[in-house]
Amino acid sequence: MFTVPVLNIKSDPLDVLLAVVGYRLSMLADSDNEDIKALFADRKVTIEIASDESDIARYFRFDDGQFSQHSGHAEKADLTINFKDSMTGVKLLTKGDLPSFMTAVQEGNLSIEGDYSLMMWFNKLAKHIVPPIPEEYKPYLQKAKPYAYKAQNFANHWIGVAKHKMGK
């Protein structure tokens, strides 16, 4: 695994996803939307998201309407979300479903330490991370889905071939 030095992002999928989430949160922190401003206001919180197995950690600091993200472990996090491995983190974060997080905790794929109420708050904030798709673009997405599915199957096939050839 390598690190992109200017951005301080490792080539690991979880770190890339967390960096993108952090970038989007920084955009939201500068938003004029009153609902989003209310979520950021009066918070002094540090949330760390990590995967010890893949040595990935990134933390988000919310400080009275200001936001910053940092690579590595926080000195003192108010909430720590630690995934079993990188891909488990990616799957759960992209799913964005709080009950899935709780199931993952029960199955041992995820551990949460700290103030659990921050999970609920962060979940409210996370709903704003992915902007809604404008109605005029939805028909194009429906047309593209079969091609994306075919591309995914094609990629999975060749990944399997490459792993077989490399003996993994």
Question: CA-based angle 53:55:58, to the nearest 5?
Answer: 125
**Over the stretch 115-160, which tens digit does the pLDDT of each residue have?**
989 988 988 888 888 777 788 888 888 888 888 878 888 877 888 8
Instruction: Name which of 25, 85, 30 is nearest 55 in CA terms.
Output: 85
Q: To the nearest whole number, what is the mean pLDDT of the chain?
A: 85
pTM (2 decimals)? 0.74
Q: Name the CA dihedral angle for 68, 74, 80, 82, rounded to a multiple of 10 degrees.
A: 110
**Helical segments of 84-168, H only:** 86-95, 98-107, 117-126, 138-166
CB atoms within 10 A of CB 51: 23
3-131 is classed in which CATH architecture? Answer: 2-Layer Sandwich (3.30)
Residues 6-59 have pLDDT tens digits of: 456 767 888 888 999 999 999 999 988 898 889 888 899 999 999 978 789 999
Is the per-residue pLDDT at 165 higher than 70? yes
Residue ranges per domain, the chain? 3-131, 133-168
